[in-house]
Amino acid sequence: MGGGSTAPLLAAFACVFLAVFPPVASGDAATLESVPDLVKAMYINVESFPCVRLLNHSGQVDPGHDKVIAPIVRFGNRNDQLVQPSAVLLPLNQMTDFFLRVSNDPELYRKIAGVLVEANGVDNMLEFSPDRKFPQQAFAPYSNLSHHWNPTGSGIMWNKYDFPVFLLSEESTQTLQNLADKNEKSANGYLANVAEFDLVMQTTKAGTHDSESCLREQSCLPLGGQSVWTSLPPISNSSTKHQKPIIMVTASQDSVSFFRDRSLGADSPISGLIALLTAVDALSHLHDISNLKKQLVFAVFNGEAWGYLGSRKFLQELDQGADSVNGISSLLIDQVLEIGSVGKAISQGYPLFYAHAAGNSSISMKMVDALQSASESLGSDNVKVKPAASSNPGVPPSSLMSFLGKNSSTPGLVLEDFDSQFSNRFYHSTLDGPANVNSSSIAAAAALIARSLYILASADLPIDLITLNTIKVNVSLVEELIGCLLKCDPGLSCGIVKSFISPSNSCPSHYVGVFQDLPAGTQFPSYADDISRFIWNFLADRTSSLAGNSSSCTGQCHDEGEICVGAEVEGGGRCVVSTTRYVPAYSTRLKFEDNVWHVLPVNSSDPFSAADPVWTESFWNTIGLRVYAVQATSYDWLVLLIGIIITAASYFAVIVGRSYISKIIKRD
């Protein structure tokens, strides 16, 4: 009875307390009907893209914290200072200066709890590349490493930062800006809007701070994926005897940026990939291509942004005679033609490309001549090509470097939209998106490549000008592939992609990903990502001849030389004759044995083995970002004091109540 008599008194105290000090929430707390409603009212989950922990054979880069909580503050001035550990809200155009300053200012570094990079605020004059001025210079097959291929490069992407960094979406940028404004206005109040970073990464474990140790402890996986190669026409005999010399045409499918999931790489290198796919499509309509004197082989390499993983592994597979490259040999490679960045070649009203030849060999010069002949054949399309400046130290950063490292006399050429320096102001940054390329430039490159290949593959045969002039590219295909591979709408939900595969995501990402274990085969390897699977199916379709058995398939075809195209789509695919294969793309210094990845010693026969970074990505459980409001410590002490007062008052009320009731009972 005594306890029951005090309940109304405690409820009254609670009501008065809540009326004076109402609860604070980040969201809309108008209707709270469940615990999830309460959580939603208290916390705002922020759409963002993280910078994740990566390691190499010598150490690590990128953030390495567990959970971090800090107030959100603006930081838009190079003279700004911090008074306490804070989550810095940073305009994108200040990112380079900020990270360079942080690296040279230990006092500021200690007060950075996290960085939130705004998505907007980009002006037309901005130049932003977090990569180095000579990307992957350790793989250059020449000694002049001081050349600035990427003059806007800052190198901030390759530094180690012991704090989390997130790129905000446009919507979340506005949300965080509003919260930062509230923090500025309530600087002397009791409220603070804070950011909570969740980065649970296993390589924070002691002793796992490089690739070899984390692979041994199984707290990381090597970067890698699947490259794809095909031949046109299909190579019918798996034996390399009596085969034609090979013209190898290459492009890259992966890019990199400071933020893993925002690695679109529109100009560098996806414009070259789209040009290659479009050129293959154009050449696939020729009826007499099997009569040409040289064999066309197309390869799309994955992992090139991380030490040329794809091209170097491809060459290793050739040396070892692996099943993934069955039918071709390195001894048969006569020429290498790489399609680099070709999305920004519109200059003075017409496309202008530069041919970067390897050395001065007669074959390389013939390749340049073929490009110029092809440009002349395009006539009114006015597509121009020029030899790159002789003052350049050599070919620009490209997969061709892998071939030259293997054999310095390899005749090769890289087609680019620049001469001595990148024309891409956003090389390997989040800003290298679809707005940074021109579909007309890519289409022009595809037409130039397709006609050049016909000329080169004809060798000493007379050029059939009628056939040459029938080689035309599908401009609509270029525009469709830009929408598929560089945009979220339609993204990988576009018609041509869904005609071949069932994509796991709509928004494309060209981050290489991780290689989990050895693939089971060359047609349907485990863990092949959406982009690789689409490229495999597209190339298999365009380079194929129909099989005798036209029945649908959902996997392997029965006849030798046949593969199943479109196996993922509803209703199954179809069997075609095509020499299209997946090739694993991961470090040549790695070996998968006993279900564990092992780092191999430097291979003295491989000139690039010592330069191989052996990149790995840490395992992580959660990478998230949310914001909410908290009270200052003084407010917490005030709440504690009021709670003590209420408790004491309640206790006193109980004593008084009991005494009063006892007196009444005695009178009765």
* pLDDT at site 369: 95
Prediction pTM value: 0.88
Q: Are 441 and 423 in contact (CB under 8 A)?
A: no
Question: What gap in Å lies between CA 203 and CA 214, rounded to an integer?
Answer: 7
Q: Which range, 55-64, 172-181, 345-354, 487-496, has the best average confidence (pLDDT)?
A: 487-496
pLDDT at 78 over 80: no
Question: Is the confidence at residue 60, as pLDDT, over 80?
Answer: no
Q: What tokens were used for 123?
A: 């002006």
For the ranges 12-21, 354-363, 445-454, 600-609, the maximum mean pLDDT occurs at 445-454
DSSP 146-166: ---SSTTB--GGGS--SS-EE
At residue 628, what are phi and psi to the nearest 5 degrees?
A: -165, 170
Q: Give pLDDT tens digits for 25-46.
A: 444 445 656 656 656 667 788 8
What pLDDT does residue 275 have? 98
In angstroms, the CA 369 to CA 456 distance is: 10
Residues in the chain: 668
57/556 Cα distance (integer angstroms): 39
Give Cα separations from 426 to 91, 335, 341, 429, 550 (angstroms).
16, 31, 12, 5, 47
Cα 41 to the chain's mean position, in Å?
34
CA atoms within 13 Å, Cβ hemisphere of 459 = 13
pLDDT of 187 reads 59
- Residues 328, 324: Cα–Cα separation, whole Å: 10
Q: Name the H helices within 155-253.
A: 170-185, 211-216
Q: What is the rounded average pLDDT of the residues 588-612?
A: 90
Structure confidence at residue 7 (pLDDT): 38
